[in-house]
Structure 1
Amino acid sequence: MGKRTGILFVLFLLSVSLLSAEVFKYKYFRGEKYKIKSEVNESVYINGQYHHAAEILNKIAVEVVSTGEGSGMLDATFSTSEIRKGNVDVYELSQEYHSLFQRDQYGKLNIDYQYYMPVVRDVPLFKEKDIRKGESWYGDGWEVHDLRNGYGIQEPFRYPIHVRYTYLGKGQKDGKTYDILTAYYSISYNTPDSFSRYRLYPVQVTGYSDQTIFWNSKEGKPYAYEEEFSIRFILSSGDSYTFRGTAGARVTASEKMNKELLADSLKNKIEQEKLSDMSVTVDDKGVTITLSNIHFKADSTEILEPEKRKLDLVADKLREYPGRDVLITGYTALAGTPEGRKQLSEERARVVAGYFIESGAKPREQIVIRGLGAENPVADNSTPEGKQENRRVEITILEN
């Protein structure tokens, strides 16, 4: 091979190498909104013995509120729901969080200590250079957990993670091509003595997370991820809790909803059908249809036949918005015990959700319910008429 030919061959190999390398960076566009929906299936073991299985739905609504120097300020609302078994299995809202944080183009977060979400931080974290197929690198991050319920720990419980990344190259997901990364970290953390001021706390955390990330280079954010995990808490009582399972998530853009048009359409339909005790309101979250004085059989969750006409009207409208999630909130009048009111309001929301699921108006993963008992009354609970108004269900078609 001649000298010139050899140089050309080396240049060819170099060009191939450069073509197979990628520059990974987050991208931010002010005003952009998107949703992240993850489903977790885990088994819980107590002292090594199987205890129960859990199906958890996490939804995150994100808005980029400002940008600058390659970074974005993100305003995010996190909701966590868990399957509750019944005549129809539905996701019941268990916790909501709000976080405001900055993330740079390489994935590093700047977030106030007070926030409980996101749980996994600084993952993925990229290097300030091209990354070739097969190349690995390391980055430090955090896991943060909310242990207020059950433990009474009134601060985010956090521990460091050291993550090994590998770029696997291009691959397919849902019929499209993405850059595929793996992220693996093991956990071995001994809690500092300062936590001994709590009656019950984790003294040691061990485990691992093995993730596959499908990166959308064009949009500068993940499209999806898949995870296998196991985490074990050894408590100060000597008991151990192990959470083992799988998770998966998708990121989708949030299309702007013409809320006024939807609300007007609903109001016109209600008027045409001559349906009473129905109202429609618009707020930042979306469009809410309130079924006031909803008729269930006394002290039960069974819907009376006249109410089904109202639900059919709403169901038809939900079918017109297949990409929108729905929050269903049940309320009661001020009667009985707080525990009883909460349970009854949850069951009423469940019945309405079940009606929509069984009629095909919405799949299960697009509906979340909650029961607020006698909270947020809209009328005077000291009168029969007021109690009727407070005995209601609110169906919110969410914008994001």
Structure 2
Amino acid sequence: MSAIPASLPLRNDLIGEEPYGAPQLDVPVCLNVNENPYPPEPAVCDAIAARVRAIAPTLNRYPDREHVALRQAFAGYLERESGARLEVGQLWGANGSNEIMLQLFQAFGGPGRTAIGADPTYSMYPEYARDTFTGWQLAHRNADFTLDVDRLIARIEETGPSMVLLTNPNNPTGTPLPQADIERVLAACEQVQVAGANPGVRPVVVIDEAYIEFRDPGTPSAVTLIGEHPNLAVSRTMSKAFAFAGARVGYLAADQGIIDCVRIVRMPYHLSAVTQAAALAAFEHTDEQLARVAHLRDTRDATAAWLKTQTYKGTPLRVADSQSNFLLFGGCFDHRDAIFDAMLERGVLIRVVGPEGWLRVCMGTDAEMARFREALVESLRIVEQQ
């Protein structure tokens, strides 16, 4: 990245900042950004091409800015996937769940407002806060990365935040968030006054379910609580389990009041006609798009078991409990950057993220995971000898 000229009037709080993003490198095995490694089936590609071809003659016109057909598809999918029956007015789409989160910060954050998360957590949250001039605070998780609900509630009561952000499963640890914990946080927020707001204004609780489809079967989703909690917002994405990262489609499920707040800050015609057409085609082939989820779940569990048999300088590797498509592992790496570099030299890209001493790997194809295991064994041996 080239240096930014000192003569440009960059905001003072952005001076010295770097753009967010995991490395995008041309290596044989990329296991660093939690994608679904399996491409769409030919039938899905054909359906996408047909849908886009059908709307191509209308591209001289703006798209449906309310994307009603796509919101209906979100509703149908959530009823099937989680048993939640939601109306179109309770759903909203955007260019990835990143835009959903930014819209939430734009609507509910801002100067004088505070958002609270539970670390370790998704590293983009403080950047959304920074970009919207929102205060950002953290309540530390337990040593096993589960949510310390008592500590979080105490911080909420002390701060009076406008938003509380929790990920389920958590990123970067993969830790599941029990429904009972979510309900305790919701109950607490329903009694808390947002600092600086009018009387009776309560915090919005945002549950980020980017990886929820990888949870163990039978585990409920927070979308089933929306009817009981008007200040609950649940963010979803098609990027991960749905094998649609390149299309950039995220969506929000919430009470219509929250959706209407987000509509105030959305950019005009923010979701292109091409994006809407591609997403509708993908939903027409939901079974094919999700066909590999169970296998990736099995791969995660098998990889976790294997990692626990490995050692680093005589210490067994730790693996955080995960219901996602990635694993945080190590807990004992005193030179994790060196391990990352050694893996990269062997053509395997993983992620340096989360607490010191840990690394993260997302699940790839069977062949990619075999190469990961080989490269990790070699890399640990090399770093141990340095």
Alignment TM-score, normalising by the size of structure 2: 0.26
Question: Which structure shows the bigger proportion of residues in strand conformation?
Answer: 1
TM-score, normalised with respect to structure 1 = 0.26
More helix by share: 2
Relative contact order higher in (CA < 8 Å, ≥ 6 apart)? 2
